[in-house]
Amino acid sequence: MENRDEVLKRTRNALGHLEGVVKMIERDAYCVDVIRQIQAVQSSLNRVSTMVLENHLHSCVTTAIRGKSADERERVLKEITEVFEMSSRV
Q: What is the total count of domains within the chain?
A: 1
CA 26 from chain center: how many Å? 27
Q: What angle do helix axes 31-56 and 4-26 make, rounded to 10 degrees?
A: 160
Q: What is the 3-state secondary structure (H, E, C) of 37-50?
A: HHHHHHHHHHHHHH
Task: Give the domain extent around 20.
Answer: 4-89
pLDDT level of residue 76 (50, 70, 90 thresholds) = very high
Q: Specify the pLDDT at position 74.
A: 92
Contact 11/48 with Cβ under 8 angstroms? yes
Distance CA 61, CA 32 (A): 41
Q: Specify the pLDDT at position 27.
A: 98
Instruction: Return the CATH number at 15.
Output: 1.20.58.1000
Q: What is the pLDDT of residues 23-71, one digit of tens each?
A: 999 999 999 999 999 999 999 999 999 999 999 999 989 999 899 999 9
User: Which range, of 7-21, 26-40, 68-82, averages the lowest pLDDT?
Assistant: 68-82
Q: Specify the pLDDT at position 28.
A: 97
